[in-house]
Structure 1
Amino acid sequence: MKAARFHARKDIRIEDVPTPELRPGAVAIDIAWCGICGTDLHEYLEGPIFISPEGHPHPLSHENLPVTMGHEFSGTVSALGDGITDLTVGESVVVEPYFVCNECAACKSGRYNLCAKMGFIGLAGGGGGLSESIVVERRWVHPVGNIPLDQAALIEPLAVGHHAFVRSGAKAGDVAFIGGGGPIGLLLAAVLHAEGITVILTEMSKARREKALSTGVVRHVIDPAVDDVVAKVRELTDGVGADVAFECSSVNAVLDQLLDAVRPGAVVVNVSIWSKPAQVDMQKLVLKEIDLRGTIAYVNDHPATIKLVQDGKVDLAPFITGRIDLDRLVDEGFDTLINHNDTAVKIIVRPGARG
């Protein structure tokens, strides 16, 4: 089968690889669509980061590069391993793409996203969504019912947004300020809007600002090239500041703005993955008693996230701005999102035959 394999920085190749073999307790899935994630772009430009380098295999997958990429994917069940009785062949599903040890303190406490050895399918090994099929443990497979499979490929990043929302403690009636309107920022906004939270967003890209407004997931959008961001947030909140803020850009200047734009006692959640250390003005945290929190991926968020879509509270269709075949992954996918991201929000990839 065809798969996109990471060999080195700026070296992703579409190659023929063996079709994975079904095993007891696992599920075989024919992949329909796979999204290109910001983490994938970081790996391409700066990696290996989450991908294990040669000679240093991941402790759970026991794989190192080259690995098949892709962790935002949907598909249909093609076969069931021995012992699997609660799924059916042909059922539409998504995958929570984890490797966890089940032995460390975090795993035993139920916070498996903080596993000491945690890895992601599509980065740490185990196959990936940028291929025609995959075999994964039943634990990580989530049925999506009648959600269209192209939209279902966005469930994984939507779950990232849902977990960030949970980590923030935000509640209906609050005002949230999001720094960065990329796919995660926009999908986080969709979750917050669905939960009755007023959203203010700042973003450089005109296309992404327009997408935020046209989808209705934000109340106000700020162009940082035109407006004083902090002053605008204070104006929109009657001088008080936002109740909660989310850093979704990995830009230090944006983080600084969030700290200035929230009210005293607010929560600031860092959602983005940083390729280099950030600088935090600790005096701002101290004098305003700001609670700065991290969030990584998701933990038990997929059922609630899927329900938001099934109940019509989140519409994923408008966030898909491009559909490409696997052989155009680098030139039409990665290149667009790296060099022309003002023209795209979420590009999804069709690994298999058209149908």
Structure 2
Amino acid sequence: MKAAVWYGEKDIRVEDRDLKEIGDHELKVKIAWTGICGSDLHEYQHGPIFIPVDGPDPLTGGQAPVTLGHEFAGIVEEIGSKVTNFQMGDRITVYPMITKGIKSSKEDVFDGFGTLGLHVDGGFADYAIVPEKNAYLLPATMSLEEGALVEPTAVAVQAIKEANLVIGDSVAVFGSGPIGLLTIMAARTAGATNIIALDVSETRLEKALQAGATHIINSAEVNPVEEIKKICPEGVDIAFEVAGVEPTFKQAIESTKIRGLVMIVSIFSKSIDWNPFDLTNSGVRIMASLAYEPVTFQQTINLIDSGQLEAKKIITDHIEIDDIVEKGFESLINDKSQAKILVKLSGDM
């Protein structure tokens, strides 16, 4: 089968690859669509970050070279001998997190994890082998294309839940890439009033308005903290850091009201320099959200299916797997009008 395989930094190869045999509790999935995630982009530009290269991953047994892709949906083509909840022909999306499963759901993902498409072969391929427990049935009214958007949308939904956002809260979202746009949508669904989107790309800021932002700020043209304080003089209740760079991290703290919250949703590819005294002076709290609980994943499916989260709005392109490097990864690096690029495998809807 054809697959996009990570070998190292700036080294992703589309090649023929064998599919491992299906296990008793596994599904063979014919993949329809797979989204390119920011973490995939980080691995392409700066990896290895998550991908195991020095030995097998302790949870998944996977090791580079690895087939990328953890935002995917498809159709069950074969089931293992002990699978009970799925049958051939079922349309599914995939919860890609593999955890120890020892602690409570709120702690589980922080206790060590692996990911389909990073720690073991994933969804940039014609087929994938998926554990039954990682498969989620899609409603009949939901497309496979939308199914490929459940994973990134669940990241945003979990961040909103972790932040305890309530009706009437004001928020600033630093970064209007795919997760930033989805965070804006989720904040609006949760009842936020002033939703301020920040980015250095006018195109992305226009997308932020379409996603539900009430205000946009181009951080390259004005002082973002001053502009936020014009809208919310005391600062915002919650700032979501979705850019993953030092300036936006510091701006998020400065833009948040006394005893407000900064929620880190991004992946930082390198360390940053900041003074914790900034928190001492303001009482601002910092939290970080990693991935999502299984219950959040199912809630996200329901929110997309009901139309409360219009995740399809973030799609900016559909490409073939043979073009994944130039029209996918390189395009996301060089063209800031791009948000979510879906890679077509079978293209089933």
**Under TM normalisation by the shorter chain, which class is it?**
over 0.9
Mapped partners of 2:55, 2:210: distance in 1:
46
Cα deviation per residue 1:56-87 (whole Å; 9 max; x = unaligned)? 22112222110110001111111222232322
Deviation at 1:110, TM superposition (A): 5.4
Given that 2:32 and 2:348 are in contact with CA atoms closer than 8 Å, whether structure 1 keeps it comes out as no
Mapped partners of 1:354, 1:72: distance in 2:
15
Given that 1:41 and 1:334 are in contact with CA atoms closer than 8 Å, whether structure 2 keeps it comes out as yes
Mapped partners of 1:45, 1:225: distance in 2:
23
**Segment drifting more, 56-65 vs 77-86:** 77-86
- State the partner residue of 2:63: 64
Deviation at 1:226, TM superposition (A): 2.4
Cα deviation per residue 1:208-228 (whole Å; 9 max; x = unaligned)? 11111123x211111112222
**Segment drifting more, 279-288 vs 193-202:** 279-288
Deviation at 1:354, TM superposition (A): 7.5
> Is 1:120 aligned to residue 115 of structure 2?
yes
Of 194, 201, 205, the residue aligned with 1:205 is: 201
- State the partner residue of 2:175: 180
Matches within 5 A, 1:235-314: 235-237=230-232, 239-300=233-294, 301-314=296-309
> Is 1:190 aligned to residue 189 of structure 2?
no
Deviation at 1:252, TM superposition (A): 0.9
Mapped partners of 2:204, 2:268: distance in 1:
21
Mapped partners of 1:259, 1:98: distance in 2:
30
Deviation at 1:353, TM superposition (A): 6.7
- State the partner residue of 1:49: 49
- State the partner residue of 2:32: 32
RMSD (CA atoms): 1.6
Deviation at 1:277, TM superposition (A): 1.0
- State the partner residue of 1:348: 342
Matched AA of 2:248: V
Given that 1:26 and 1:81 are in contact with CA atoms closer than 8 Å, whether structure 2 keeps it comes out as yes
Matches within 5 A, 1:23-172: 23-53=23-53, 55-103=54-102, 107=103, 111-116=107-112, 118-125=113-120, 127-145=121-139, 146-172=141-167
Mapped partners of 2:73, 2:347: distance in 1:
15
Deviation at 1:92, TM superposition (A): 1.8
- Structure 2's unaligned 5+ residue stretches are none
Mapped partners of 2:64, 2:155: distance in 1:
25
Mapped partners of 1:91, 1:32: distance in 2:
13
Matches within 5 A, 1:316-335: 316-335=311-330
User: Secondary structure of the equivalent of 2:219?
Assistant: coil
Deviation at 1:108, TM superposition (A): 5.2
Cα deviation per residue 1:9-34 (whole Å; 9 max; x = unaligned)? 11111111113322212222111100
User: Secondary structure of the equivalent of 1:343?
Assistant: coil
Mapped partners of 2:117, 2:36: distance in 1:
11
Mapped partners of 1:338, 1:244: distance in 2:
28
Matched AA of 1:11: D
Cα deviation per residue 1:218-272 (whole Å; 9 max; x = unaligned)? 11111112222112211112x1210011100111111111111111010101111
User: Secondary structure of the equivalent of 1:44?
Assistant: helix
Given that 1:3 and 1:351 are in contact with CA atoms closer than 8 Å, whether structure 2 keeps it comes out as no
Given that 1:111 and 1:299 are in contact with CA atoms closer than 8 Å, whether structure 2 keeps it comes out as no
User: Secondary structure of the equivalent of 2:92?
Assistant: strand
Given that 1:244 and 1:267 are in contact with CA atoms closer than 8 Å, whether structure 2 keeps it comes out as yes
Mapped partners of 2:339, 2:323: distance in 1:
17
Given that 1:27 and 1:137 are in contact with CA atoms closer than 8 Å, whether structure 2 keeps it comes out as yes
Mapped partners of 2:21, 2:268: distance in 1:
36
How many equivalent residue pairs?
A: 346
Cα deviation per residue 1:72-121 (whole Å; 9 max; x = unaligned)? 11111112222323223222211111222234xxx3565221123x1111
Mapped partners of 2:328, 2:36: distance in 1:
7
Given that 2:144 and 2:348 are in contact with CA atoms closer than 8 Å, whether structure 1 keeps it comes out as no
- Structure 1's unaligned 5+ residue stretches are none
- State the partner residue of 2:19: 19
Mapped partners of 1:110, 1:160: distance in 2:
14
State TM-score, norm by structure 1: 0.93
Over the matched positions of the two proteins, sequence identity in percent amounts to 33
Given that 2:26 and 2:131 are in contact with CA atoms closer than 8 Å, whether structure 1 keeps it comes out as yes
Mapped partners of 2:99, 2:253: distance in 1:
34
User: Secondary structure of the equivalent of 1:114?
Assistant: helix
User: Secondary structure of the equivalent of 2:23?
Assistant: coil
